[in-house]
Amino acid sequence: MQDLNKIWTSCVDTLEKQNIVEDKIMLDSLFRPATLEAIEDNKVTITTDLQWNIDPILEKQSEIESILSNSFSKPITINVLSKEEYNKKKLKQKKVPKIDSHLHPDMTFSNFIVGNSNRMAQNAALLVSTNPGKNFNPLFLYSHPGLGKTHLLNAIGNRAKETNPDLVVRYITSKDFVDEIINSIKTNTTDDIYSYYRNIDILLIDDIQFLFGKEKSSEMFFHIFNEIINSNHQIVITSDKMPDELQGIEERLISRFKSGLSFGIDPPEFETAKAILEKKIENLGNTDLVITDDVLDFMVMNYCNDIRSLEGQLKRLFFCSIMEQTNYIDMNFASEVFKDQKTIKKAQEPLTKEFILKTTAEFYYLTISQIISKNRTRNLVTPREICMYLMRELLDVTFSEIGVTFSNRDHSTVMKACKRVETKIKKDPDYKLAVDKIKQKLGTL
C-alpha cells in the first residue's frame, strides 16, 4: 500500500528543489500542510485547511500533476478541496445507499410518438428532464391505462441520466413502494427508508392510486414527498385519475399534487395511433414484413383506445404470420386472425341524451358526472362541448334542455359551445375524426 503522506512530501520537496514555488513562506504555509487524501483511478484528491488556499495550489496544477504522475507511474489529475468540503462529501458518500434506478432503457423520448393527445404531457416531461427540481414540481400525469404514462416516466429518467450521469434517479410503482414500507416496518428500518429517498434527485412513482387507503404508507409518502420538494429535487407522479378524483387520499396530499403541474393524456387520434403502430412494426425487426394499409387502419380504428391492446394485437398478427410462414399480411389474413376478437358492434341502444353522454364519456375515458360537472379543466371541455353538439344535431333538442342536462348551464353557453364545435370540425381534421368516431359508436354514421 502506498504512503500518500510520503508521496505528497516528496512532491512538495520537488516543487522547492525545482524552484516551481520560489516563495518559501508560501511553500511552508500553503503546500506542506496540505494533505493528499486519496487516489481513485487517475484522480488524486488534495485537501487544505482553508478555502482560500485552494487557488494558489491550483496555480501550480500542471506541475503538481506532472510530479505525481511520475510518482504513481500513470497520468494523474488533481482535485483540490477544503477539508470541510471533503469531509462533507465523504460523509454523504458513506450515508447514501446504492440506488438502482430501475429505469427501462428502451423507453425514451426518441421513440415516444407525439400527437395532439399527448403533446402537452410530453413537453412538460421533456422540460422536467432537462431541468429537474427547478420548475413544475411535482409533475402529475394522468390517463387511462396503456396510453404512455410509464413510457414518459422512464423517458424523463433516461434523459436526465444522459444529461447528468451523477443524478440519483429512481423509478418505482406505488405497489413496490408499499412493499418497501411494509418490509421496513417488519425489520424496524423505517429511518433507512427516509434516508434512502432523501438522497434521490428524481423520484418517478407510477400508478399512485394504488398507494392510498394504506395509512402507514401514505403517511411515509407524505413526509418523503415534502422532503424531496423542499430539497428542490424532482418528483413525477402518474395516476389513472386527476388529483381531485383520487379516492382514499388525504386532502393535504391532493393539495400538494395540485401545487405543481398536471396534464392528462387522451386516447390518440387516428394519425398518432397509426404512427405508434408503424413504430412498433419497425421495432419487430422484420424488414421483410409487409402489412397492408387497410389492415393498419382496421387495427387503429378498433384498438387505438389502449396502446397496450394495439401492441398485443400486433404481436398476435405477427405470431400468426410466422406460423403461416408468410411476410405479407392483407385484410383477408387479418380478418381470420381477428375474427374472435369481438370487434363486431353490439346491438344498438336507442339514441337518447343518456346514450350520447355514456358513449362520449366512454370514448374519452371519463365518467358522465365529469362531463356534466361545472369543472372546466382542459380534458373535460372538449368532450363536454362535443356531447352538447351531438345532442343538438342528432336529437334536435333545445339549447335550454341541453343546458339543464349539463348542470343547469345557460342556453347561450350551450349555443356558443355548439358553434365552436361546428367551427373546429371544418378547420381541424383530427377533431372531425374524433366526432365521426363517436357518431360511429352511436350508430349514426
pLDDT digits (tens, 9 = 90+) for 282-325: 888 778 888 888 888 888 877 766 788 888 888 888 899 888 88
Cβ contacts of residue 243 below 8 Å, gap of 6+?
A: 140, 142, 254, 257, 258, 262
Asked whether residue 86 is assigned to any structural domain, the reply reads yes
Burial label for 265, CB within 10 Å (0-12, 13-18, 19+), is: buried
The arrangement of strands across the sheet holding 43-48 comes to 35-40, 43-48, 77-82
| Statement to judge: residues 219 and 125 lie in one domain | yes
Q: pLDDT tier at 79 (50, 70, 90 boundaries)?
A: very high
Task: State the CATH number of the domain containing residue 373.
Answer: 1.10.1750.10
- CB 263: neighbour CB atoms within 10 A? 22
SS (H, E, C) 50-108: CHHHHHHHHCCHHHHHHHHHHHHCCCCEEEEEEHHHHHHHHHHHHHCCCCCCCCCCCCC
Asked whether residue 75 is assigned to any structural domain, the reply reads yes
User: Where is the binding site for ATP, in residues?
Assistant: 146, 148-150
Decide which of 95, 130, 156 is a domain's last residue: 95
| Statement to judge: residues 324 and 400 lie in one domain | no
Domains contained in the chain, number: 4
Task: State the CATH number of the domain containing residue 230.
Answer: 3.40.50.300
| Statement to judge: residues 217 and 127 lie in one domain | yes
| Statement to judge: residues 161 and 214 lie in one domain | yes
User: Where is the binding site, in residues?
Assistant: 146, 148-150
Tell me the average pLDDT across 93-116: 79
pLDDT in tens, 229-242: 888 889 999 988 88
Asked whether residue 298 is assigned to any structural domain, the reply reads yes
8 A C-beta contact, residue 380 and residue 360: no
8 A C-beta contact, residue 8 and residue 35: yes
pLDDT in tens, 344-365: 344 446 788 888 998 998 888 7
8 A C-beta contact, residue 151 and residue 307: no
Higher pLDDT, 68 or 254: 68
DSSP 306: -
The confidence score (pLDDT) of residue 152 equals: 95
Question: Rounded distance, CA 153 to CA 216, Å?
Answer: 25
Cβ contacts of residue 311 below 8 Å, gap of 6+?
A: 280
Higher pLDDT, 283 or 414: 414
Asked whether residue 114 is assigned to any structural domain, the reply reads no
Question: Rounded distance, CA 76 to CA 55, Å?
Answer: 19
pTM greater than 0.85 (yes/no): no
| Statement to judge: residues 325 and 409 lie in one domain | no
Q: What is the number of helices (H) and of strands (E) in the chain?
A: 21, 10
- CB 155: neighbour CB atoms within 10 A? 24
pLDDT in tens, 83-97: 888 887 776 654 545
8 A C-beta contact, residue 48 and residue 88: no
DSSP β-bridge partners for residue 236 = 139, 204
Task: State the CATH number of the domain containing residue 285.
Answer: 1.10.8.60
Question: Rounded distance, CA 241 to CA 304, Å?
Answer: 20
- Name the residue range of residue 371's domain: 353-442
| Statement to judge: residues 132 and 172 lie in one domain | yes
Asked whether residue 100 is assigned to any structural domain, the reply reads no
| Statement to judge: residues 123 and 260 lie in one domain | yes
| Statement to judge: residues 167 and 209 lie in one domain | yes
Higher pLDDT, 105 or 216: 105
DSSP 267: P
- Residue 93 sits at φ, ψ, to 5 deg, of -65, -35
| Statement to judge: residues 88 and 222 lie in one domain | no
Q: pLDDT tier at 248 (50, 70, 90 boundaries)?
A: low
Asked whether residue 108 is assigned to any structural domain, the reply reads no
The confidence score (pLDDT) of residue 414 equals: 92
| Statement to judge: residues 260 and 124 lie in one domain | yes
pLDDT in tens, 120-165: 999 999 999 988 887 788 899 988 888 889 999 999 999 999 988 8
pLDDT in tens, 169-222: 999 998 888 888 888 888 887 777 777 887 889 999 998 887 766 667 777 788
Question: Rounded distance, CA 178 to CA 98, Å?
Answer: 20
Query: In the numeric block, which cell numbers belong to residue 208?
Result: 399512485
Asked whether residue 113 is assigned to any structural domain, the reply reads no
